[in-house]
Structure 1
Amino acid sequence: MISMPTLRVATYNIAAGQNPDPQAINRLFTEENLDLIGVQEVDRHTRRNPYDMPAAIAGTRYHAAFAPAIPVMGGDYGIALFSREPLLNVTNHHYAHFGEEKRVYQHGVYEVAGTPLSVYNTHLSFETPALRQLQVAELTAAMHADPIPRQVLFGDFNMDQSHQEWDYFDPALRRANGGAGGWFDTFNGRDAGMQSFAIDNILVTPNIQLSQVRVPSRILSDHQLLAATLTF
């Protein structure tokens, strides 16, 4: 039997405002044997976290690519991708539509056994479903224009009003959260304005198989890590 290339991946909002422990996060990534991770709410050289958080989380095991969204407390706040091997052609993009905070998505290319994988990571606005729908439209347009056929999208999508918000995405995309394994409430805090807590997800194009979706019990943030295996 021919062995197909696989990747163990995850998405994780680490709640920079709650002073996350970068070493504990690195240990969690290592324990889960992760190859590629999209992370949201990351600080770099802010007064509340006065160090290079992406580098501290990466340690010696991972490479980090940081995308600043807004300036915060003398530094930057945004999202980051972590990978076993360096990502290629990493770019950062601000959404044209946003609420209280500017929002970004980042894109890079990861080589898997000689096959390019297009990698996206984002953190959508929390204010309204209508605003998120506009951001999804921007992101979807970028993915559709991408010449690389295999794509994965990580993110905290803040789709907290109903599971139907996920219908904003191309129905051909496969979801780790809300897929064959059902829904995972990845936000572990409580917010009276939220109707759904399954707000973190990993989406892939139909030419990638999703399996072994799980949410480890370790609590290091007000979100849970969502992990999955991708097979090409």
Structure 2
Amino acid sequence: MPTLRVATYNIAAGQNPDPQAINRLFTEENLDLIGVQEVDRHTRRNPYDMPAAIAGTRYHAAFAPAIPVMGGDYGIALFSREPLLNVTNHHYTHFGEEKRVYQHGVYEVAGTPLSVYNTHLSFETPALRQLQVAELTAAMHADPIPRQVLFGDFNMDQSRQEWDYFDSALRRANGGAGGWFDTFNGRDAGMQSFAIDNILATPNIQLSQVRVPSRILSDHQLLAATLIL
């Protein structure tokens, strides 16, 4: 069966991330496909094409701008060894202080299409996140491709029960058979749970070899897993 090594990673654009170090981490982890959150492009605080710099020569980048920031764009991005097909960006109709997006593309794995989603949900309240999850899962349910994976910083920081907003059939890398990983390594007195980053997959995909590398390049840790299609 085809396998993919995948990850999700919030790189904290406001903290001037090192794109070369991030690329090295992706390479060291032998990643094929990565969903990344908090990405700048041509902002005053990061005045360069961050997705292209992280991609280097090893990966292809697909950027989804969420909001304008400091003369440029801020959003999320997908990185892949082979180009994603049919990439689209979608704004949520419910949002807080900042507009939020999810992106979708198709990745071919040994002739098998994999539907790929990436998102960064709002931080304000569980109720707002629940509305965003409803929009996202409606899109996933309408997707004709049976194998689907979702990357994201879901900001589900008040209770692990927030993960119940998702279809219970979805498999979780964080909070699955390997237990919970506190992927947020910063300090925030308002947070009750620090396991806020995750990789979710449809039941026809097996998740294995879930790990959080010790390298600290952000206020989040990279969460990696192997998908068996």
TM over 0.5: yes
Kindly provide the CA deviation profile for residues 107-126 of structure 1, in whole angstroms up to 9, marking residues without a partner as x: 00000000000000000000
Query: 1:13, 1:23 → 2: CA distance?
Result: 15
Kindly provide the CA deviation profile for residues 59-95 of structure 1, in whole angstroms up to 9, marking residues without a partner as x: 0000000000000000000000000000000000000
Runs of 4 or more, structure 1, over 6 Å off, are none
How far is 1:163 from its partner?
0.3
How far is 1:175 from its partner?
0.1
Query: 2:44, 2:223 → 1: CA distance?
Result: 29
How far is 1:221 from its partner?
0.1
Identity in percent: 97
Partner residue in 2 for 1:155: 152
Query: 2:110, 2:170 → 1: CA distance?
Result: 23
Aligned pair count? 229
Query: 1:109, 1:119 → 2: CA distance?
Result: 6
How far is 1:156 from its partner?
0.0
How far is 1:185 from its partner?
0.1
How far is 1:229 from its partner?
0.1
Partner residue in 2 for 1:71: 68
Task: Say yes or no: does 1:86 pair with 2:63.
Answer: no
Give the 3-state SS of the residue equivalent to 2:146 in structure 1. coil
Partner residue in 2 for 1:229: 226
Kindly provide the CA deviation profile for residues 39-73 of structure 1, in whole angstroms up to 9, marking residues without a partner as x: 00000000000000000000000000000000000
Query: 1:124, 1:83 → 2: CA distance?
Result: 22
How far is 1:143 from its partner?
0.1
Residue ranges of structure 1 left out of the alignment (5+ in a row):
none
How far is 1:37 from its partner?
0.0
How far is 1:193 from its partner?
0.2
Query: 1:219, 1:194 → 2: CA distance?
Result: 20
Residue ranges of structure 2 left out of the alignment (5+ in a row):
none
Give the 3-state SS of the residue equivalent to 1:194 in structure 2. coil
Partner residue in 1 for 2:204: 207
**TM-score between the two structures when normalised by the length of structure 2:** 1.00
Query: 2:48, 2:6 → 1: CA distance?
Result: 26
Query: 1:97, 1:31 → 2: CA distance?
Result: 37
- Which residue among 140, 148, 156 is the counterpart of 2:137? 140
How far is 1:159 from its partner?
0.0
Kindly provide the CA deviation profile for residues 101-143 of structure 1, in whole angstroms up to 9, marking residues without a partner as x: 0000000000000000000000000000000000000000000
**TM-score between the two structures when normalised by the length of structure 1:** 0.99
How far is 1:13 from its partner?
0.0
Give the 3-state SS of the residue equivalent to 1:30 in structure 2. helix
Kindly provide the CA deviation profile for residues 121-172 of structure 1, in whole angstroms up to 9, marking residues without a partner as x: 0000000000000000000000000000000000000000000000000000
How far is 1:211 from its partner?
0.1
Query: 2:178, 2:193 → 1: CA distance?
Result: 17
How far is 1:8 from its partner?
0.0
Superposition CA RMSD, Å:
0.2
Query: 1:17, 1:230 → 2: CA distance?
Result: 31
